[in-house]
Structure 1
Amino acid sequence: MISADRRQELLGRLAALPPERRAAMRRSLGSSRPEGRVWPLSFGQERLWFLSRFDPTDTSYHVPWTVRLRGPADGGALEAALGRIVERHEVLRTRFVMEGDRPGQVVLPPRPFALERLDPRPDPDAAVAAYTGRPFDLRHDPPIRAALLRLGHDDHLLSIVVHHVAVDGWSLDVLMRELAACYEAARRGGEPELAELPLQYKDYAVWSRERADGEGGGHLGHWRERLAGAPVLDLPTDHPRPARWTGRGGRCALALPDARTARLEAFLKGERCTLFMGLLAVFHAVLARAAGQDDVCVGVPVAGRDRTKFAPLIGYFSNTLVLRGDLSGDPSLRELLRRTRVATLTALQHAEAPFERVLAAAGTPRDLSRPPLCQAMFNLSHHLPKADLLRATMADLSVAVWPPPPGGRTKSEISADLYRGPEGLGGWLEFNSDLFSTRRAEGLAADFAALAGRLADEPDLRLSELKGRS
């Protein structure tokens, strides 16, 4: 097996070749490769595959994106555009199989893409929810589907659903950028102007496993030490804990007005902290107060695209870091912020270790009634590219994001998913409805917003002086 450095060198040399040389080389390689070769899964894919086998009806790992198209939408051109994207990105025409005792992925040959036509009457929201909530059969079908729903004359919804095993948040921006280029080209009967991809996702999966066995394995010692004795998050519940995790969930809104958010950002800049660090510190404080703990682990997703050649790819690159909050000794908010800053910067230095390997290294006992290691998650999505995801036009169509339907599922017991917009801080607090009532979740959301608003004004307030209603 070649080393990770040698593989990187070869990939770099391949990317530097003229497009026609690369195409010829791939054709020659493909002629000697057995049909239906099984490729390994990346670590993240493997975890999602096992979860899908654990509960095939679980739709919490669906990634839906629905937009409203106003104008003369051309269904045939949309179908051709999506087909071109699926042909271009092999991960979107992949099925997932067992190879011996391990899962693997098989790239299917390109074939015409079928854009479904659905009747949204009488309730478009319900129609989108039903469509996006239809389970995938990853063993036999590609992990993407799309439908066009006619609302009226020159008024349609385009609903795209991809399983998380093949896509992440970054990928959606890539998908919408290429959809616009391919749709416009299909309308004029030409070719889209898209740079050739330097590699495919299956190549990344192979490389990431080699890296984890080599240089990435050196990070596990840090996580083994950092997470030794990490406790479960023991929030008070409103219902008895089921013996087996179901993922049933609900959500309530989180918001902080722009003026308060701007004041918080200015304060954090003076403390050499990012908005992410400040909000994570607040989340740790809220959870610690509610649970009566001074030691809290929160999972944080990171993009995982630490090489420029990964940027134009569609695929699942994200990883999860475990940020362990130290709230011992009744610190002030300023001191908690300092601890959070140090913990975040240290964690990022060891971000190459796959979460699945970290779980094994931490030796956390498995409990079917709760997610492993991280019962809480936190995400601030402002770092992801959104220019094409939130685009306002596509050829001669106007484009607007259609609100996603409530999924009724959650990946963790409690999670905050936030974004920074022109109106301030917005987002959702998702909760496991098997455990918590909506009232309790709303109390936690209110405590979070209140403390985030006070951090800049009362940074020397000690945690014992906090008041809340959750």
Structure 2
Amino acid sequence: MTGQNTLTGQDPPGGLPSPGGQGASGGQGASAEERRQALLRRLAALPPARREALRRTMTAAPAAPGLPLSSGQERLWFLNRFDPADSSNHILWCLRLRGPIDPGGLAAAFTAVAGRHEVLRARYRMDGDRPVQVVPPPEPVVLELPVVPEDTAGGAGPDAAVLALFDRPFDLERDPPMRVALIELGERHALLCIVLHHIAADGWSLNVLMRELGECYAAHREGRRPELEELPARYADFVTWERGQAERAGPARLAFWTERLAGVPVLDLPADHPRPPRWTGRGGRVELRVPDAETTRFEQAARQQRSTLFMALLAAFQATLGAVAGQDDFCVGVPVVGRSRTEFEPLIGYFSNTIALRADLSGDPSFRELLGRVRPATLRALQHAEEPFDRILGALRLPRDLSRPPLCQAMFNLTHNLPKDDLLRTAMGDLGVEVHPPPETGRTRAEISVDLYRGPEGLGGSLEYGSDLLSAGTARRVAAAFTGLVTRAGADPDLRLSELSGLSGLKGE
């Protein structure tokens, strides 16, 4: 082993002689103490830079082993590598804080939460021909403090700072997938902004994050330990479970999807602008509202067909898209929470999956008849919802088309059943808290999507659209057609779809 570092098994950097090598003061007959003193003299004679390099080599911890990614994470990792500047898969949450704000306490609270959830500090790298996630030891979370000019503090200035934080790319190989900032708006008034990469979180995770953040901040302010239950699992346990589920399910679960989706055409929306050769994720947003009385009537029509509000709204969205595109066959993607085991519920991570629901609008059915198709199709799909969306895409062998999202160009989501008590909290320790509506980010994950919630005032939400394809005017008309269809179908579900759409002169401003 002469000539090798006995601690690392590597050649000493810079050609430093081994302490056991030949030399006047370090020969084979020298005592151990003499050899140690000779080594110290040689180290002292090295330039400082080489001495520091040697120290790092001898004391560096071995690289942490890489953990596999979930199927959803693998797709998000690929999309990030394909276009690192695309912020479509960033999650933004903003809160207004009022009171004696403690920036150090906020940073400590985020640090404590990241210490509990490995996925918030994971890094992603290639290991051979596959991506892995490497979890470093807990480290302090940096609370950024952007400066907003005083003359814009109450107007566009904060939104500009929020968008800059949101749009900044994540380097998933070197940086954690979460960043936070505190934007001062005045005395005892600030905006707390949280940006997460989707690879580390989903909608459910935000409620978990806010619950733990609130408790950790209150504990810091009160000088006590946070009262949080020990987590029953790690995100890595979900990855292992997901892979095991795929093996146990065998080919039958995947075969359900490939048979159901075989030959499905793309949703070909009439575009206001030439389709770019590559999907960019640029988008806009239109607000959606349906008053409570009309929503209640629509719910009653759904119950008559033993359908849920989700099923009925999905049917209304399918009917609207069919009228817009002139198609009776296409897919709508629907996110599912993916937390079928109770031990996954208190975890932060990317658990959600997408199921592709194929529309069948053939024969110009009445809305009541359409519900009779949507209900059983949805129930069957939910029975197979644990099949990873990316495995389905791979099995379908769809033609490669970079100009549009694969399989599901449209997405639909009803979020009122997600836990949100902590997400909508009004206090955090000694601070007053209120949700700050985030500015429009100009990003979307689909060519057209609807995201709704059921509240006491009725239905609320938004329609997002790909601005490379559709103008704002067209998007407003589609949104109006959708809400109008909900209203008319609730009043008379026996009307045929051709009588419900209310679409005319769709394109143009």
| Aligned pair partner of 2:93 in 65, 73, 89 | 65
The answer to whether the Cα contact below 8 Å between 1:300 and 1:320 also exists between their aligned partners in 2 is: yes
1:393 aligns with 2:427: yes
Per-residue deviation at 1:235?
1.2
Mapped to 2, the partners of 1:462 and 1:216 lie a distance apart of 41
| Aligned pair partner of 1:86 in 114, 138, 153 | 114
In structure 2, the CA distance between the partners of 1:449 and 1:340, relative to structure 1 (3 Å rule), is same
Letter in 2 for 1:165: I
Per-residue deviation at 1:217?
4.4
The answer to whether the Cα contact below 8 Å between 1:95 and 1:139 also exists between their aligned partners in 2 is: yes
Segments of 5+ residues of structure 2 without an aligned counterpart are: 1-60
Mapped to 1, the partners of 2:362 and 2:62 lie a distance apart of 58
| Aligned pair partner of 2:105 in 77, 81, 84 | 77
Per-residue deviation at 1:268?
1.5
Secondary structure at the residue paired with 2:460?
strand
Aligned pairs for 1:375-414 (under 5 A) are 375-414=409-448
Segments of 5+ residues of structure 1 without an aligned counterpart are: 1-32
| Aligned pair partner of 2:247 in 198, 202, 213 | 213
Letter in 1 for 2:270: P
Q: How many residues align?
A: 438
| Aligned pair partner of 1:315 in 349, 356, 365 | 349
Mapped to 1, the partners of 2:420 and 2:253 lie a distance apart of 31
Q: What are the superposed Cα offsets for residues 131-185 of structure 1, whole Å, 9 maximum, x if unpaired? A: 1221110010000111111111111111111100000000000000000100011
Partner of 1:230: 264
Per-residue deviation at 1:456?
1.7
The answer to whether the Cα contact below 8 Å between 2:284 and 2:442 also exists between their aligned partners in 1 is: yes
In structure 2, the CA distance between the partners of 1:201 and 1:216, relative to structure 1 (3 Å rule), is farther
| Aligned pair partner of 1:324 in 358, 362, 367 | 358
Mapped to 2, the partners of 1:394 and 1:37 lie a distance apart of 37
Partner of 2:400: 366
Partner of 2:128: 100
Q: Percent identity?
A: 62
| Aligned pair partner of 2:339 in 305, 318, 336 | 305
Aligned pairs for 1:10-159 (under 5 A) are 35-121=63-149, 122=152, 123-159=157-193
Mapped to 1, the partners of 2:250 and 2:213 lie a distance apart of 35
Mapped to 1, the partners of 2:265 and 2:230 lie a distance apart of 47
Per-residue deviation at 1:35?
4.2
Task: Single out whichever of 406-415 and 166-175 deviates more from structure 2.
Answer: 406-415
Mapped to 2, the partners of 1:192 and 1:266 lie a distance apart of 45
The answer to whether the Cα contact below 8 Å between 1:216 and 1:353 also exists between their aligned partners in 2 is: no
Secondary structure at the residue paired with 1:331?
coil
Mapped to 2, the partners of 1:113 and 1:463 lie a distance apart of 53
| Aligned pair partner of 1:239 in 269, 273, 284 | 273
Aligned pairs for 1:421-460 (under 5 A) are 421-460=455-494
Per-residue deviation at 1:251?
1.1
1:193 aligns with 2:193: no
Q: What are the superposed Cα offsets for residues 277-328 of structure 1, whole Å, 9 maximum, x if unpaired? A: 0110000001111111111210000000000000000000000000101111
Q: What are the superposed Cα offsets for residues 11-39 of structure 1, whole Å, 9 maximum, x if unpaired? A: xxxxxxxxxxxxxxxxxxxxxx9641101
The answer to whether the Cα contact below 8 Å between 1:287 and 1:296 also exists between their aligned partners in 2 is: no
Q: Which has the higher contact order (CA 8 A, sep 6+)?
A: 1
Mapped to 2, the partners of 1:306 and 1:34 lie a distance apart of 36
Q: What are the superposed Cα offsets for residues 225-261 of structure 1, whole Å, 9 maximum, x if unpaired? A: 1001100001111111111111111111111011111
Q: What are the superposed Cα offsets for residues 34-82 of structure 1, whole Å, 9 maximum, x if unpaired? A: 6411011000000000000110000111111110001111111111110
Aligned pairs for 1:227-306 (under 5 A) are 227-306=261-340
Per-residue deviation at 1:201?
0.8
Mapped to 1, the partners of 2:404 and 2:141 lie a distance apart of 39
Task: Single out whichever of 378-387 and 359-368 deviates more from structure 2.
Answer: 359-368
The answer to whether the Cα contact below 8 Å between 1:166 and 1:314 also exists between their aligned partners in 2 is: yes
Mapped to 2, the partners of 1:113 and 1:197 lie a distance apart of 20
Secondary structure at the residue paired with 2:87?
coil
RMSD of aligned residue pairs (Cα, Å): 1.2
Mapped to 2, the partners of 1:341 and 1:178 lie a distance apart of 37
Mapped to 2, the partners of 1:189 and 1:314 lie a distance apart of 26
In structure 2, the CA distance between the partners of 1:144 and 1:311, relative to structure 1 (3 Å rule), is same
Secondary structure at the residue paired with 2:416?
helix
The answer to whether the Cα contact below 8 Å between 1:332 and 1:462 also exists between their aligned partners in 2 is: yes
Secondary structure at the residue paired with 2:264?
coil
Structure 2 length-normalised TM: 0.84
Partner of 2:503: 468
Letter in 2 for 1:293: Q
Secondary structure at the residue paired with 2:387?
coil
Q: What are the superposed Cα offsets for residues 82-139 of structure 1, whole Å, 9 maximum, x if unpaired? A: 0000001000010000011111100011112211112233211111111122111001
